[in-house]
């Protein structure tokens, strides 16, 4: 512990973000860098707790508490305070294959369970993490590390999102020949097409890591739909083991009156097409354009925020975000104690930008859509809403009940549905004949990742359901470990 009194001397500080009105003019990342002297002070705030909760990685009340990949947070905080950046990077890479991703897009459950956060603002763990890896890239410390010998075993990873990439990276380290199949035109999955560029830069951050994995020996095969244009039987015949990491890509729909009208899209349709247009430098009709339109985003969470931020960058006329849940409190409620994830009110980047442009947080809480209204051409022109209250039904379950007299009509020429995902798409799972759980996810125990097929493993959202990127990294690493054990009879992977 480099500075025993650091948490008493220094207050929590984060780097300044680019101003909301300036950053909505482009798709560049909006976080600025922090001077090294200030980062050292923030590292000094870590108390090196006797029982640190920041890296426990457990579920409490159904939510992550602490880091799911068990990052050695107190160790690299201390090393940053001492100015030992390369050593900090080595500690970080022991548990995290891709800290430049988690340091940008993870919601930081580690900070929610920081012991200092019991009565003070927590340590800026996420910002220190991304600062370590960015410095590592800048100084040339992150270099390809191909395995010294190969086992000759061939492993197929289906899906190149967070779980698939972490599984591939670990299996390649173990010396196996890894091929990652991706049905899109570029690898990266959610990291490439599901998260907007201003939050996770594709060329400077994602592609840089993908190119390093290729140099280490991982093979990416894109435009390949396993179970479609690439038969599942061929996969099983050509590889010694298969890891399914296809994600939970089946979106939750809103089957209310008028759903078939034009101009109503799932969030991922909107976000994927926008990023692809940016990368291809093609803007002519190749994406869903919000320019000049009244936009209504239905649903919250990260995906809803990303729809808000992207719509504003298009130049939308107005924007409203409909949330069925109540507005969270400013501070932890009594039934949400530390070290649970703090369910408190915050303005994410998209809402900050909407407030700067339109004057207020765009979210309407305790509100649900009841009907989509169309114009004469069959294109959506309005969303009918009503306020709700949450009451218990005869089974003791909380359900939303409409409040008469609270109906509103919102103008909308573009509606984006961001209500989460129901599970993995089923055709490939049917072709492989793997068992499913009651939620249609692949049936495989956490920690084992084995399916009913002896050479098929599953990890990430296709196994656990929609979750955090950092849980996908956890599961990808775990599935790689168990796959290596299956192939070799024993494993040295963590």
Show the tokens assigned to 311: 């719509």
Provide long-range contacts, Cβ within 8 A and 24+ apart, for 103-107: 103/127, 103/129, 103/130, 103/131, 103/132, 103/133, 103/134, 104/29, 104/31, 104/130, 104/199, 104/200, 104/205, 105/191, 105/195, 105/199, 105/200, 105/302, 105/469, 106/468, 106/469, 106/470, 107/302, 107/468
Asked if the model's pLDDT at residue 425 lies above 70, the reply is yes
pLDDT at 396 over 90: no
Give the CB-side neighbour count of residue 452, counting CA atoms within 13 A: 10
Q: What pTM, to 2 d.p., does this model score? A: 0.94
Name the β-bridge partners of 220: 180
pLDDT for the residue numbered 285: 67
Least confident among 112-126, 241-255, 277-291, 309-323 = 277-291
Q: Which residue has the tokens 């993490």?
A: 129
Reported confidence tier of residue 370, pLDDT bands at 50, 70, 90 = very high
φ and ψ at residue 301, rounded to 5 degrees: 70, -175
Look at residue 217 in the predicted model and tell me its pLDDT. Answer: 98
Report CA 60 to chain centroid distance, whole Å: 19
* Strand partners of residue 38: none
Taking the C-alpha atoms of residue 494 and residue 488, their distance in angstroms, rounded to an integer, is 15
Q: Coil, strand, or helix at residue 13?
A: coil
Residue pLDDT, tens place only, 228-239:
999 999 999 999
Give pLDDT tens digits for 166-221: 999 999 999 999 999 999 999 999 999 999 999 999 999 999 999 999 999 999 99
Cα–Cα distances in Å, from 384 out to 97, 262, 299, 401?
A: 46, 16, 15, 16
Six-digit token string for 125? 């763990």
| 107-to-65, 149, 225, 261, 302 alpha-carbon distances in Å | 11, 37, 31, 35, 9
Find how far residue 156's CA is from the centre of its chain: 23
Contact 64, 470 (CB under 8 A): yes
| Cα–Cα distance for residue pair 182/223, rounded to 1 Å | 6
Domains of the chain plus CATH, in order, are: 6-138 (1.10.1060.10), 154-249+422-488 (3.50.50.60), 253-419 (3.50.50.60)
At CA 80, angle to CA 79 and CA 81, rounded to 5? 90
> Quick one: tokens of 269?
């349709």
Helix 267-280 with 301-314: angle, nearest 10 deg? 50
What is the Cα–Cα distance from 477 to 121, expressed in whole angstroms? Answer: 31
Tell me, what's the pLDDT at 213? 98
The residue assigned the tokens 């179970």 is: 227
CA dihedral of residues 13, 18, 24, 28 (deg, nearest 10): -100
- The band of 62, judged by pLDDT with boundaries at 50, 70 and 90, is confident
pLDDT band at 427 (very low <50, low <70, confident <90, very high): very high
Residue 125 near residue 119, CB atoms below 8 Å: no
**Per-residue pLDDT reduced to its tens digit, 435-471:** 999 999 999 999 999 999 999 999 999 999 999 999 9
- Tokens 């512990």 — which residue? 1
Give the rounded percent of residues in the chain with a pLDDT score beyond 90. 94
Handedness of CA 108, 469, 69, 332 (dihedral sign): positive
Residue 366 pLDDT grade (very low, low, confident, very high; cuts 50, 70, 90): very high
Q: What is the dihedral of CA 84, 73, 138, 196, to 10 degrees?
A: -170
Region 229-256: what's the mean pLDDT?
96
- Cβ proximity of 196 and 310 under 8 Å: yes
- Residues 104-161 have pLDDT tens digits of 999 999 999 999 999 999 999 999 999 999 999 999 999 999 999 999 999 999 999 9
Cβ-contact 166, 97 below 8 angstroms? yes
Cα angle 237-243-247, degrees, rounded to a multiple of 5 = 130
Tally Cβ neighbours within 10 Å of residue 225: 14
Residue count of the chain: 494
| pLDDT above 90 (res 78) | yes
Q: How confident is the model at residue 343 (pLDDT cuts 50, 70, 90)?
A: very high
Q: Are 200 and 191 in contact (CB under 8 A)?
A: yes
H/E run at residue 242: strand 241-244
* CA atoms in the 13 A half-sphere facing the CB of 355: 12
* Average confidence (pLDDT) over 315-324: 98
Q: What is the mean pLDDT of residues 417-426?
A: 96
Mean pLDDT for 72-90 is 96
What is the rounded average pLDDT of the residues 290-295? 98
């Amino acid at each position: 512990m480099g500075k025993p009194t650091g948490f008493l001397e220094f207050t929590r500080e984060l780097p300044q973000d680019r101003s909301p009105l300036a950053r909505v003019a482009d798709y560049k990342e909006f976080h600025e860098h922090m001077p090294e002297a200030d980062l050292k002070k923030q590292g000094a705030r870590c108390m090196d707790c006797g029982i640190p909760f920041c890296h426990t990685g457990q579920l409490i009340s159904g939510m992550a508490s602490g880091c799911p990949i068990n990052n050695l947070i107190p160790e690299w905080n201390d090393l940053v305070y001492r100015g030992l950046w390369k050593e900090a990077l080595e500690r970080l890479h022991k548990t995290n294959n891709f800290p430049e991703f988690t340091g940008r897009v993870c919601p930081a459950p580690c900070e929610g369970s920081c012991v200092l956060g019991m009565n003070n603002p927590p340590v800026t763990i996420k910002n220190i993490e991304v600062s370590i890896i960015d410095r590592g890239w800048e100084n040339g410390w992150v270099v390809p590390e191909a395995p010294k010998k190969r086992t000759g075993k061939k492993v197929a990873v289906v899906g190149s999102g967070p779980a698939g990439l972490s599984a591939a990276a670990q299996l390649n380290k173990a010396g196996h020949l890894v091929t990652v199949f991706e049905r899109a035109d570029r690898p990266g999955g959610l990291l490439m097409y599901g998260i907007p560029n201003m939050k996770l830069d594709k060329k400077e951050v994602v592609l840089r890591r993908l190119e390093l994995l290729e140099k280490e020996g991982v093979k990416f095969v894109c435009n390949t739909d396993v179970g479609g244009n690439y038969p599942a039987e061929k996969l099983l015949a050509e590889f010694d083991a298969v890891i399914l990491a296809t994600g939970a890509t089946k979106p939750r729909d809103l089957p209310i009156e008028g759903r078939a009208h034009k101009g109503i899209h799932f969030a991922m349709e909107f976000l994927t097409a926008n990023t692809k247009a940016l990368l291809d430098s093609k803007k002519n009709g190749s994406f869903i354009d919000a320019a000049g339109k009244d936009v209504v985003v239905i649903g919250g969470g990260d995906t809803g925020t990303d729809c808000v931020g992207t719509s504003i960058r298009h130049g939308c006329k107005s924007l409203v975000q409909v949330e069925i849940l109540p507005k969270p409190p400013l501070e932890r409620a009594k039934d949400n104690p530390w070290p649970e994830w703090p369910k408190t009110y915050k303005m994410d980047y998209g809402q900050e930008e909407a407030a700067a442009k339109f004057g207020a947080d765009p979210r309407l809480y305790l509100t649900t859509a009841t009907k989509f209204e169309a114009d004469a051409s069959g294109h959506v022109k309005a969303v009918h809403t009503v306020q709700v209250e949450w009451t218990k039904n005869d089974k003791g379950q909380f359900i939303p009940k409409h409040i008469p007299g609270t109906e509103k009509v919102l103008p909308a020429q573009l509606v984006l549905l961001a209500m989460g995902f129901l599970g993995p798409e089923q055709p490939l799972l049917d072709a492989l004949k793997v068992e499913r759980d009651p939620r249609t996810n692949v049936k495989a125990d956490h920690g084992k990742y084995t399916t009913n097929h002896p050479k098929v493993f599953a990890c990430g959202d296709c196994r656990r359901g929609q979750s955090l990127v950092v849980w996908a990294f956890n599961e990808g690493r775990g599935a790689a470990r168990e796959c290596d054990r299956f192939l070799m009879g024993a494993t040295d992977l963590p």
